[in-house]
Structure 1
Amino acid sequence: MEMQMIIAALISFFIAFNSYRKKSLDVSGAFAGFFVMSLHLAVNYRFGAMLLAFFFTSSKLTKKGEDRKRAIDAEFKAGGQRNWIQVFSNSGIASVLVIAYWKLKTSQDTCLDSKESYIITSLVGGLIGHYSCSNGDTWSSELGVLSDEQPRLITTFKPVRRGTNGGVTIAGLQAAAAAGTVIGLAFVLPGFFTKSCTNDAFLKQLLVIPLSAAAGLAGSLIDSILGATLQFSGFCSVRNKVVSKPGPTVKRISGLSILDNNGVNVVSILLTSMLTSFACLYIF
């Protein structure tokens, strides 16, 4: 366990420092990222693999088409630089689940099997749902906004401007399912080397991949519904962009000023984690 903690800290320091240097994280985000990554990798390599799959793929996609995103996004940051609030809104619930797992199993890996452990299967299912949702939301947002397809508000299906909270495209939804699949693979593949299962349990682990794809899609849909209803979107005639705060020059498009983007992320992650946790108990 001690060696695993040292390795986890070294890997996390290198990634956090490199991400700060490349402007994927600011100083606060780098410190928060170091803590979260160290925790995940120290407790279970597969948890770390899911986190890193989310972080690296999302960071890469955030930087794709920056010129076009700058023209659309009123809160655009070069490199997609994230602070500690954004880090914890996308990994805080997972960190709580990881700590709960550690208290129950220390760093011992396990196969998903509710007959063996109802609670552990539930916790791991929540983690899979968490990162499938986070990755799905990011992929759908980053790729969907680059699509030539006209976004439609998920609650009314009426065409809306790019950047409107709750606006969805077919390309974005497909990206969300693909993003969930990546998380499923990140969980399943390391398990071939870190844990021996019975034959029946081993084959069942492969069901995590379609489950995570469904969780990625479901998480993106939940996020879009929350964004369309509880997050404000309006068009600013001065900036000529969609903004998330009301103002004298802003014409409302949809939503209420109840949640900001981080709040929407937390609620959608929580709901998707719960749904995936229940699904794992049923499937496994």
Structure 2
Amino acid sequence: MQFLVKIMIGLFASTIISYIAYKKQALTLSGAIGAMILGTGIFFGSGLYGSFLIFVFFSTSTIFTFIKRNYKNEIEKQYEKSGGRDFYQVFANGGVGLLYSLLYSFTFNPMYLILIGVSFAASNADTWASELGVFSKSLPVSLRSFKKVPKGTSGAVSLFGILMSFLGSLLIAFSAIIIITIFQLNLNPFSYIEAFLLIILGGILGSMIDSILGATIQAVYYNENLKKETEKAFEEGKSNVLIRGYKLINNDFVNFTSILLATIIILLLCR
């Protein structure tokens, strides 16, 4: 019975939030369906802890997405996807958190609480770096060529973007400790400070790994008509030319992989 109640509560809450996000065009229809599945699974697995973290991540990233939208539209023309998040983007950012939430529901191992925090800290750090980093006064530097490149280029970083990445990770770590404290969740053998620092570190690592993968193995194409690089394999029905990276490795793959690797590194550090 408790199993069914948790699923129903999670589904009800995630449906309302997903519907609102869909109406505000923060999610596509497939993204709304994905968010319902993700939200239900996370609430079932880690309760209000995981649900609150994904809410903080999604709400802040959505708000920042719409800041100076017209300015960002020009930059985002080179992105593989723009506009509302679709099903794949939702799970690329939240799928790792769902995995650890489900593991926590079966084991109640405190390590998984930290890894859930790390997963959303990494998502938030990368999103803040992307959404707010474009407002940097200086051009970002490519981690592949170490030369200045246009804003929005995958695998490029700026000091302002790194700062936003840190703040995004900090917010999730702070939110995690608040919920752990309020509901007195068992963290033994970790202290609150240790959990706090591990989540921040994991978030920053995730964002760094994302940039490195974006600069090295993510597929980047060249659009002959626009005479510029893009993440899009196709533009107006025409194929763009692959100039580096691998076709199967897109931004969603990079996001999911960087988050997963960040959690694995933190897990290994703790062991």
The 5 A counterparts of 1:1-284 are 1=2, 3-43=5-45, 44-74=47-77, 80-105=83-108, 120-195=109-184, 204-234=191-221, 236=223, 238-239=225-226, 241-245=228-232, 255-279=245-269, 281=270
Q: 1:3-49 CA deviation, whole Å, 9 max, x = no partner?
A: 55443333212111101110111111111101211222233211111
Asked whether the 8 Å contact 1:163–1:242 carries over to 2, the reply is no
**Counterpart AA for 1:61:** F
Tell me how far apart the structure 2 counterparts of residues 129 and 156 of structure 1 sit (CA, whole Å): 29
Return the TM-score normalized by structure 2. 0.86
Q: CA deviation at 1:214?
A: 2.1
Corresponding pairs, count: 265
Judge which range, 247-256 or 6-15, deviates more.
247-256
Asked whether the 8 Å contact 1:46–1:186 carries over to 2, the reply is no
Q: In structure 1, the residue corresponding to 2:77 is in which secondary structure?
A: coil
Rate the CA distance shift 1:144–1:255 in 2: closer, same or farther, 3 A.
Answer: farther
Rate the CA distance shift 1:178–1:254 in 2: closer, same or farther, 3 A.
Answer: farther
Q: 1:228-262 CA deviation, whole Å, 9 max, x = no partner?
A: 01113355453365412468997887645451000
Rate the CA distance shift 1:144–1:242 in 2: closer, same or farther, 3 A.
Answer: farther
Tell me how far apart the structure 2 counterparts of residues 137 and 6 of structure 1 sit (CA, whole Å): 31
Asked whether the 8 Å contact 2:29–2:86 carries over to 1, the reply is yes
Find the counterpart in structure 2 of residue 110 from structure 1.
none
Asked whether the 8 Å contact 1:230–1:258 carries over to 2, the reply is no
Tell me how far apart the structure 1 counterparts of residues 9 and 68 of structure 2 sit (CA, whole Å): 35
Consecutive unaligned residues in structure 1, runs of 5 or more: 106-119
Asked whether the 8 Å contact 1:230–1:257 carries over to 2, the reply is no
Find the counterpart in structure 2 of residue 113 from structure 1.
none
Return the TM-score normalized by structure 1. 0.82
Asked whether the 8 Å contact 2:80–2:251 carries over to 1, the reply is no
Identity of aligned residues (%): 26
Asked whether the 8 Å contact 1:68–1:146 carries over to 2, the reply is no
Q: CA deviation at 1:141?
A: 0.7
Tell me how far apart the structure 2 counterparts of residues 42 and 158 of structure 1 sit (CA, whole Å): 46
Asked whether the 8 Å contact 1:74–1:241 carries over to 2, the reply is no
Find the counterpart in structure 2 of residue 116 from structure 1.
none
Asked whether the 8 Å contact 1:129–1:216 carries over to 2, the reply is yes
**Counterpart AA for 1:129:** V
Q: RMSD in angstroms over aligned alpha carbons?
A: 2.8
Q: In structure 2, the residue corresponding to 1:55 is in which secondary structure?
A: helix
Consecutive unaligned residues in structure 2, runs of 5 or more: none
Tell me how far apart the structure 2 counterparts of residues 165 and 87 of structure 1 sit (CA, whole Å): 19
Q: 1:163-186 CA deviation, whole Å, 9 max, x = no partner?
A: 211011111111111111111112
Q: 1:81-120 CA deviation, whole Å, 9 max, x = no partner?
A: 0111111111122212211211224xxxxxxxxxxxxxx2
